[in-house]
Amino acid sequence: VILSGSPTQRVGYEILSELPKEVHPSPMLSLDKTKEVDTLAAWLADQTGLLSWKMDGLTVVLTYDNGTLAKAVTRGNGQVGEVITNNARVFKNIPLTIPCKGHVVLRGEAVIPYSEFEKINDRLPQEEQYKNPRNLCSGSVRQLNNQITAKRNVMFYAFTLVQADGVDFQNSRACQMEWLKSQGF
């Protein structure tokens, strides 16, 4: 087993001239949000819910084929995103290979922790500092030189399994999340 953060998996950098655009197979719609427990309880009604953290980063779609990271695309406007595979390969915790050898598509959030955000801002003159970690992350995952991305310590947190060929999840989100964990997320 090779750990996703192993330096042996993060060798070499690449500079691109542009980030290509790609149309998502199905639109990535925004979710409604609330901070009110009563509103959430009313929405759930008599159903059981699975809650996860809301992270303020950049949504990224990962595609694996034959167990290897094949593509990473930003959410963009929900219809069209930018291909950032080059940069996703240097995120601190994205597995470049997974045990499943089928076609796997998942969504997650690319984030830069506040501690890293503060370190980066401390090294910049006041007028060049980033307003918040989300803006820093957005710029970091869209770099043309992934060596810059690597230095920003971007992390990825999977939140939705879109497709995993040949795997039965018994219509359970909890089962999907456990399976993603078993794949290295």
Residues labelled catalytic: 54
User: DSSP letter string over the chain?
Assistant: ---TT-GGGS----B-S-PPEEE-SS--PPPP--S-HHHHHHHHTTS---------SEEEEEEEETTEEEEEEE-TTSSEEEB-HHHHTTSTT--SB-S--S-EEEEEEEE--HHHHHHHHHTS-GGG--SSHHHHHHHHHT-SBHHHHHHTT-EEEEEEEEEETT---TT-HHHHHHHHHHTT-
Provide φ and ψ at 119, rounded to 5°. -60, -45
